[in-house]
Structure 1
Amino acid sequence: MDFVLVSQRLALAGAEVAGIVRADPMVPDSISEPHLYVGEWTINYDQTYGGLVDAEVIVRVLTSRADDMAGQERLKDFMRRTGPTSVKARFEADPTLGGACQDLHVRQFRGHRQYQVGEKRYYGGEWPVRVIGIDSEEG
């Protein structure tokens, strides 16, 4: 499984969520809220003799903290299970990410809480995404 490609495809899918201004396949240096990005990976190798990889990647969305309520309300829209603002629904619309993995599943949402990027603080939350694929030399 090509982890760079999976991250890129998750960011592309995230960019299609209604209301997301910017989506990045890696942790950004600066934020344009609401901003979705692909964060840390936890990888379990060799789940079968054929090289099955069972991984979890954290996808975060950060919203403005300029107004106590507006950023948190916006985040609640992204938390929905279904609909055009649902991060979960958008990712699960193509569970192979165009062939980048065998399957994925969004199991939960964690948040809200405050995140700091540089000197600025944001409201945000995270979606652990389970990604399953075959590890091979071809990527």
Structure 2
Amino acid sequence: MQPGLIREAIADAARAGVTLPEGIGKLNATGHTPDAVVTPHFFCGEYSVDFDKAMNRSLDTIELTCRVLVSRADDRSAQVILDGMLAGHGPSSLKAAIEAARGGPGEAALGGLADDLHVTRIQGYRWYEHQGTQYVGAELIIKIIGEG
């Protein structure tokens, strides 16, 4: 598996699959930690790789930490927008958008970049500072499995 390509494909899935409420605009999404954030912004951050989960390099796993940040211009409305993106389903759901890239039964995930992926949890719902600016946000943890 190629972590850089996987991160870009997950960002593409988030960007294409999330529909935000009218007046919010589109979700900005990057496969890397951006220098500057244009909210709302989803990005793929840190990851860890467990190699050789099966014999002969046939299986590796990646645990990817992604973040979503929204403007705190109005703390209540920002959290309403964030809550929609953290929901398990619905038009704004990041989980639904990302897991749609799993492909159909018997198909590889992310257009062949991985065998499967799963958004396993959300954590760290809090204020984040990025380049000196405060945002409300959360982390999504994604488990990705594929050939080593």
- Normalised by the shorter chain, which TM-score bucket? over 0.9
RMSD, aligned α-carbons = 1.0
The answer to whether residue 125 in structure 2 is matched with residue 125 in structure 1 is no
Identity among equivalent positions (%) equals 35
Aligned length: 135
Runs of 4+ with deviation above 3 angstroms: none
User: TM-score, normalised to structure 2's length?
Assistant: 0.87
State the Cα deviation string for residues 63-115 of structure 1 (Å, max 9, x = none). Answer: 01111111111100001111110100111112101111000011111132011
Counterpart in 1 of 2:68? 61
Name the CA distance, whole Å, in 2 between partners of 1:13 and 1:50. 31
Gaps of 5+ in 1: none
Query: TM-score, normalization: structure 1?
Result: 0.93
More helix, by proportion: 2
> Secondary structure of the equivalent of 1:50?
helix
Unaligned runs of 5+ in 2: 21-25, 103-108
Q: Which residue of 1 is the match for residue 129 of structure 2?
A: 116
- Secondary structure at the residue paired with 2:52? coil
- Residue of structure 2 equivalent to 1:18: 19
Give the superposition deviation at 1:42.
1.1
Match of 2:105 in 1: none
Following superposition of structure 1 onto structure 2, how do residues 1-139 of structure 1 map, counting pairs within 5 Å?
1-16=1-16, 17-19=18-20, 20-51=26-57, 52-95=59-102, 96-135=109-148
Q: Is the Cα contact below 8 Å between 1:13 and 1:90 reproduced in 2?
A: yes
